[in-house]
Amino acid sequence: MRRRLLTSTLVVAVIAVLLLGVPLGIVVSRLIVDEAAQELRAEATRLVGEVEYARIQETPLDPQQLAQKYPDRYIQIYERGTPPKATIVGTAPPSGHQMTEDAQSESGIYVRVSRDKDQVEQDVRARLLLIVALAVAALAVAVGLAIVQSRRLTLPLLDLAKIADRLGSGDARPSKHRYGIPELDRVAEVLDRSATRISDLLTREREFATDASHQLRTPLTGLTMRLEEIVAASDQPVIVREEGEAAIVQAERLTAVIDELLSAARRQRQSQAEPVAIDDILDQQVKEWDPVFRGVGRHLRLEGARGLKAMATTGGFGQVIASLLENSLRHGGGAVKVHTTVSDNYVVVEVSDEGPGIADDIAPKVFERNVSGGGGTGLGLTLARAMAASDGGRLELVRRRPAAFAIFLRPAEQNGRNRVVSGPA
C-alpha cells in the first residue's frame, strides 16, 4: 500500500508540474522576448527625439556619448539632407543573431537599434532553469509528504491487522490504540468492543465447561467403579461380562470426553495435538456405530487410504466422527461412507450418506448454534466444528445433496499406505 501511495502521489505531482510548468515556461519565454523588443523600440523612439533635438540646437551627435548611454547596442542613424548623414554606434551582432527595432520622424530621421539575440536567449534559459529547479523542488516536497502520509496511513493499518490477528488467535484484550484518523479510530473502537465481547463470551464458556467437567467427573468415576465391581463379581453367563466390559468402555470414553472438555476450557487442546493414527480411531467408531446402523437397515463403510497419521487429539477427533455419524443417522439416509484421503497439505476424512441432503436455506448456517433442519438440538455440528478447530483442523460441508462433511487435519509423518474397503458387506 505504501508503494501505491508513493507512486500515485508522484504521478499526480508530475502531472500537476507538467500542466503548470510547461505553460509557465512558454509564457515566461515570450514575456522576456517581448520585453526585450519593447525595450529596443523605446530606445529607438527616444533616439529619434534626441536626434531631432540635436538638429534644432545645431549640435553634432557624439558617438562615444551614445555608446555610453546605450551600451551593448548597435545603432544606425540616418538623417535626410544634402548630402545625407549617417551615424553608426557600436559593433553589429552576427547576422541571424540579432534583434532589431527602428523608428523614424516626419523630418526624415531614421533610427535602427539592434542587440545581440544570444543575451536574450541566455536570459530565457536562466528563467527556464529556475522553473525546472522549482518543479524538482515541488516534486521532492510531494514525495516527502507522500512518504509521511503513507507512513501515517499504513502503520495504523499494520497495527490494526496485528490486533485483528491477535483477536482471532484468542487474545481478546482491548488495545485502546488511537491514531488521529477518524476512520481508523472507528475501526479500532469496533475491534476493542469486539474484543471485550469475545472476552466475556470466552470467560462464560470456560466457566461453564469447567463447572460441567467438575460436576460430571465424580458420578462418572463412581459409575466406572460400580461397573468394575459388577464384572469382577459376576457369576452369570459370558454375555453379562461382555456387556459389563462394554459399559466400562463407554464410561471411560465419557470420562475422556470430560477431559477434552476441561482441556478446551483451559485452552490446552491445541497445544496437546499430536500425531495420532487415523485408522485406529475410525475402526473404533465404525465398530461402535455399525450395530446401530444395522438396526435401522443401513450400512456403514470405511474406505480410502490407510496408515494415515494426522495432528489431533484422540478424544477430540473421535468425538467429531461420532457427531457426524450421529448426524447422518438422524437426518440422512441410505449407506454411510467414511472415506480417507491425503494431500500435501491435509489429511481429509469425509463422511457422506445417500439421504435427501441439506436444505438450501439451512446449508449456509448449518454450523451455527441452535440451527437444525430435523428437530435436533442444533449443537452437534457446532461443537464438532469447534473440536476440529481446537485440534488445528477444520470441519466443512463439502456437498449439500446428498450431504457430505469433510474434516481437514494437519498431516503428520506417514509411512506406507494402501487402498482398502472395509465394513459390512
Q: Are residues 289 and 414 in the same domain?
A: yes
- At residue 301, the pLDDT reads 92
Does residue 117 lie within any of the structural domains?
yes
Per-residue 3-state assignment (H helix, E strand, C coil) for 141-190? HHHHHHHHHHHHHHHHHHHHHHHHHHHHCCCCCCCCCCCCCHHHHHHHHH
CA distance 254 to 248: 10
Q: Is the same domain home to 228 and 362?
A: no
On whether residue 192 sits in a domain, the answer given is no
Above 80 in pLDDT, residue 424? Answer: no
d(CA 200, CA 207): 11
pLDDT band of residue 347 (cuts 50, 70, 90) is very high
Q: Which among 96, 128, 160 is the end of a domain?
A: 128
User: CATH number, domain at 40?
Assistant: 3.30.450.250
Same domain, 257 and 348: no
Contact assessment for residue 43 and residue 73, using Cβ atoms and an 8 Å cutoff: yes
The verdict on 238 and 302 lying in the same domain is no
Task: Please give the residue range of the domain that contains residue 102.
Answer: 2-128
Domain shared by 211 and 261, yes or no:
yes
**Could you report the per-residue pLDDT of 54-81, keeping only the tens digit for each?**
888 878 888 888 888 888 888 888 888 7
Dump pLDDT digits (tens) for 81-125: 757 778 888 887 777 788 899 998 888 889 999 988 888 888 989
| Pairwise CA distance, residues 135 & 16, whole Å | 10
Residues 279 and 416 in one domain: yes
> Is residue 401 classed as helix, strand or coil in its secondary structure?
coil
| pLDDT surpassing 90 at residue 253 | no
Same domain, 295 and 244: no
Residue 239 — very low, low, confident or very high, per pLDDT cuts 50/70/90? low
Higher pLDDT, 218 or 341: 341
Number of domains in the chain: 3
Give pLDDT tens digits for 139-157: 888 888 888 877 777 777 7
| pLDDT tens column, 293-345 | 888 899 999 999 999 999 988 878 888 898 899 888 888 899 999 999 998 78
Give yes or no for residue 425 having a pLDDT over 50.
no
Residue 184 lies in a domain: no
Q: Is residue 317 part of a domain?
A: yes
Band (406; pLDDT cuts 50, 70, 90): very high
Mean pLDDT on 192-199: 78
Cα dihedral 297/300/301/307 (nearest 10): -160
Identify the CATH number of the domain in which residue 350 sits: 3.30.565.10
What confidence score (pLDDT) does residue 59 get?
Answer: 83
Residue 77 lies in a domain: yes
Report the percent of the chain where pLDDT is more than 90.
Answer: 16
Please state, rounded to an integer, the average pLDDT across all residues of the chain. Answer: 79
pLDDT for res 262: 61
pLDDT mean over 345-360: 90
Domain termination residue (choose one: 95, 112, 128)? 128
CB 224 within 8 A of CB 250: no
Check whether 376 has a pLDDT greater than 70: no
Which letter, b or e, does each residue of 189-211 get, where b requires 16 or more Cβ atoms within 10 Å of its Cβ?
eebbeebeebbeeeeeeeeebee
Of 23-37, 49-63, 210-224, minimum mean pLDDT range:
210-224
pTM of the predicted structure, to 2 decimals: 0.42
242 pLDDT band (50/70/90 cuts)? low
Q: In what order do the strands lie in the sheet with 74-79?
A: 85-89, 74-79, 109-116, 98-104
Q: What percent of the chain has pLDDT over 70?
A: 77
List the grid coordinates of 22.
Answer: 510547461
